[in-house]
A and B are shown apart, each in its own frame.
Chain A
Amino acid sequence: EPEVTQTPSHQVTQMGQEVILRCVPISNHLYFYWYRQILGQKVEFLVSFYNNEISEKSEIFDDQFSVERPDGSNFTLKIRSTKLEDSAMYFCASRPTISSYNEQFFGPGTRLTVL
Chain B
Amino acid sequence: GENVEQHPSTLSVQEGDSAVIKCTYSDSASNYFPWYKQELGKRPQLIIDIRSNVGEKKDQRIAVTLNKTAKHFSLHITETQPEDSAVYFCAASLGYGQNFVFGPGTRLSVLP
Chain B CB within 8 A of A82 CB: no
- Chain B 27-45 against A: per-residue CB contact (8 Å), 1 yes, 0 no? 0000010101000001111
Cβ-defined contact, A108 with B97, below 8 A: no
Closest Cβ of chain A: how far from B105's Cβ, in Å? 5
Contacting pair A42 B49 (CB below 8 A): no
CA–CA, A108 to B93, complex, Å? 22
Chain B residue with the shortest CB-CB distance to A50: B97
Q: How far is B48's CA from A113's CA once the two chains are assembled, in angstroms?
A: 32
Q: Say yes or no for A25: interface residue by CB 8 A criterion.
A: no
Please report the total number of B residues contacting A with Cβ < 8 Å: 24
Instruction: List chain A positions with a Cβ less than 8 A from chain B.
Output: 31, 33, 35, 41-45, 48, 50, 55-56, 58, 91, 95, 97, 101-109
Are B89 and A48 closer than 8 Å at their CB atoms? no
Q: Which residues of A contact B51 (CB under 8 A)?
A: 101
Contacts of A50 in B (CB 8 A): 97
Instruction: Decide if B69 is an interface residue (CB 8 Å cutoff).
Output: no
Cα–Cα, bound, A68→B96 (Å) = 22
Bound: A12/B89 CA distance, A: 27
B35 to A: closest C-beta gap in Å: 11
Contact A109 B43, beta carbon cutoff 8 Å? yes
